[in-house]
């Protein structure tokens, strides 16, 4: 994802549901650790 303020790219993780709706976004250094994204996937799966 492009950061206009610093004019650099930032690592970003998106989780989309089956309908293509964005359900989770994490950007910057937090996006490097995949454990948080995996936790979000588990939470979304249990919410169904």
Residue 6 DSSP label: T
Vertex 35: Cα angle to 26 and 46 (nearest 5): 90
CA atoms of 7 and 24, how far apart (whole Å): 24
Q: Where are the domains of the chain?
A: 11-46
pTM check: above 0.75 = no
Q: Ramachandran region of residue 42, left (φ > 0), alpha (ψ -120 to 50) or beta?
A: alpha
The model's confidence at residue 30, banded by pLDDT at 50, 70 and 90, is confident
Give the confidence band of 9 by pLDDT, cuts at 50, 70, 90: confident
How far is Cα 23 from Cα 21, in angstroms, rounded to an integer?
6
């Amino acid at each position: 994802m492009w950061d206009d303020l610093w004019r650099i790219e930032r690592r970003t993780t998106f989780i989309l549901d089956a309908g293509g709706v964005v359900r989770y976004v994490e950007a910057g250094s937090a996006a490097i650790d995949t454990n948080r994204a995996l936790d979000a996937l588990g939470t979304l799966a249990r919410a169904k």
